[in-house]
Amino acid sequence: MNLFLKKYWIGLLIAFSFFFVSTLTISDYGLNIDESIHFIRGQAYLHMLTGKGVHYSTEDLNSTRVSFWKNKSYDAAYFLEKDTGHPSFNDVSAAVFNRVFFEKLGIVGDLESYHLFEIFISSLLVFLIFFIMKTHYGIFAGFVSALSLSVYPLFFAESHFNIKDPVETTFFSFAIYFLYLGFEKKSNKYILLSSIFCGFALGTKFNIVFLPIIFLIYLLIAYRKNLVSVFKTVYNIKYSLIIYPAIALIFLFITRPYLWQSPVVRFLEIVDFYQGIGSGQQYQPIKYYFLGWNTYPLTFIFSSTPIIILVLFLFGLLVSIVSYKNDRFKLLLFLWFLVPILRVTIPGGSLYSGVRQIMEFVPAMVCIAGLGALWIRQKVLLLMDNKVIFYVIFIIPFVFLIVDLKSIHPNENMYMNELVGGLNGASTRGLPGAGESMGNVYLQGIEWLNANAEKNAKFGLPVGLGSNVPQQFLREDITFGPFFSGTSRRGEYMMEKVSVGFPLATTYSFDYLNNIVDPIYEVKVDGVTLLRIWKNDTIYTKKEYLHEVEFNSYKIVKNEEDNSLVISFLQSVPVSRLEIDHSTENCKLEEVNGQIRSVPGKISEIRTPIVWYSHQGTYSVELNKNDKFVWFFDGKEIASISLKMADKDSCLLQYKEIRVFEFSDGS
């Protein structure tokens, strides 16, 4: 033990510093938009796996400290029938941390206890990177690599509030390194360790399925002149390799009881889920595609990686390419970096909202950066004798990086480097995913509401789900709910995160607020808005939208062939509302199925299914009656409105009177 501490104390110090700083700032971070369902599912499965049954008892939900995410409606019985999406090993593990550190000991908060799991696992990766690089290339390479990982903006930020990607990246890294050691040392012990971490990774996210591809390519290239030795090694460790997939699958199945019934069918459901989100979708504009290849992943990586790490990486990459024949491990690092990126770059691959979903590339990238730093040190020290001066100069860019990250805390995952002009430049260029906080920023909005909203205030989200907001942090007298009132302006607060590409779909509630109401508060980084809060009342409504007046200069054309109704204006009009009084006899009223379209200046077209009353707000729900259809617009000037129904017998097509209103300043 003393020898281990003496040998790796620097790595332990960096990892502990990462853990300490992360824990110290843990309450500054909010809730990832994906986390709620993972917390709820983790609690439900943990309850079942610890022998307490598939339902929560009254006592379970009424003890001294109970997690907000223990939900009676979503217990294990629910998930045994309706579980979907990602695996749940990480969910159950995070629930264990919550059970111990919040419910039992009470030493951290509810949300913080889940995030403590994420920070702890991420800290293990920081040490692993030092261990790997120190073992192969010495203390300096280990130091630079571990430091680079610790301050890599995406990794540092999301290790606080992302229950999937940093966790899976850690397990992936342990699995690939132990697999490498198993082959190099012909050791069943390391192969078995790799299989365990592979199971952890597989039980978190299916990205680990690309590990065999990385390692197979590595073996074929590294041992291309001596493949016989590979077969000999395989023979020596054959038993551990045979049980490798079984061990990995055990962790997936044990921590996801949903798979216990119809294992094959339900396992294939997971496969279908990943195929659906990871292939066949074009999430970025066409300019990012070249001959079917998606340049977006590399564009985002080179835009969001700090310059110092990027420069060191490029030097290290050149060193690796030149010398990999004499050092097989450099080849493995290169493939470890390349394959996760390549799988979303090749034709048919898909990626959205940045590169967090392929975070496995980050450990390899910082290791290669460590190689670059080592090469630079070797060359520079040939020209100067004073190592102290070199180390001081070398560390300065990292100090500046830490200062930059502190200035945007707790929004470090918003970081964009100087090559694209920071976040401001990336947003101006329209880089998809720039400014995407994944919900972390909502907590900052809640803190503002707690400090500034009047007593008994109401607030809601125009687009996001209620599960995205950590409501236990909300002041007790503030009520969260579907309070958007549109043009009735009842004084509710509305809050939403914004970024390049979000909101994904155009919805009336968001567009109304964004176009018609001045924000009362904004969270900004580098001049770019990450979150807006509006107060929907007359004080903050722009003058030109304060009033509605009926507009009569239009013509109506009904086309029975395509079940459409078109209202055309003589000139573009800032429409606020459409009202249709219609018959309720001898027509179909129960199901409103169709589309309403507005053509702004005949330049583009907006299509909105008219069943989306929820985005129209409470005022719309109040005005819509059996014999009256009301639809609101966001004040953009439009030339026509068309209503196209799926059924020719729809009551909406049997109109009695149509009224159109436009916005006005009242003059």
**Alpha-carbon separation of residue 310 from 241, 366, 373, 415 (angstroms):** 37, 9, 11, 14
pLDDT digits (tens, 9 = 90+) for 111-145: 999 999 999 999 999 999 999 999 999 999 999 99
Average pLDDT of 466-472? 84
d(Cα 559, Cα 540) in Å, to the nearest integer? 41
pLDDT of residue 599: 74
pLDDT digits (tens, 9 = 90+) for 217-270: 999 999 998 999 999 999 999 999 999 999 999 999 999 999 999 999 999 999
The DSSP 8-state label assigned to residue 419 in this structure reads: G
Q: What is the DSSP string of 453-521?
A: SPTT-EEE-SSS-GGGS-GGGS-TT-EESS---GGG----EEEEE-BTTBSSS--HHHHHHHHHB-EEE
Fold classified for 544-664:
Jelly Rolls (2.60.120)
Exposed/middle/buried for residue 73 (C-beta within 10 Å: 0-12, 13-18, 19+): exposed
Amino acid of residue 233: T
Helix/strand/coil (H, E, C) string of 195-226?
HHHHHHHHCCCHHHHHHHHHHHHHHHHHCCCC
Q: Are 520 and 540 in contact, with CB atoms under 8 Å apart?
A: yes
Amino acid of residue 540: Y
pLDDT of residue 570: 86
pLDDT of residue 605: 41
pLDDT surpassing 60 at residue 454: yes
Strand partners, 208: none
pLDDT digits (tens, 9 = 90+) for 533-550: 999 999 999 999 999 999
Helix runs in 50-138, H state only: 76-82, 89-97, 110-137
Please tell me the pTM assigned to this model. 0.93
pLDDT of residue 591: 57
> What confidence category does residue 613 fall into, taking pLDDT thresholds of 50, 70 and 90?
very low
> What confidence category does residue 366 fall into, taking pLDDT thresholds of 50, 70 and 90?
very high
Ranges of CATH 2.60.120.260 domains, the chain: 544-664
> What confidence category does residue 338 fall into, taking pLDDT thresholds of 50, 70 and 90?
very high
Output the average pLDDT for the chain: 93
Tell me what percent of the residues of the chain surpass a pLDDT of 90.
77
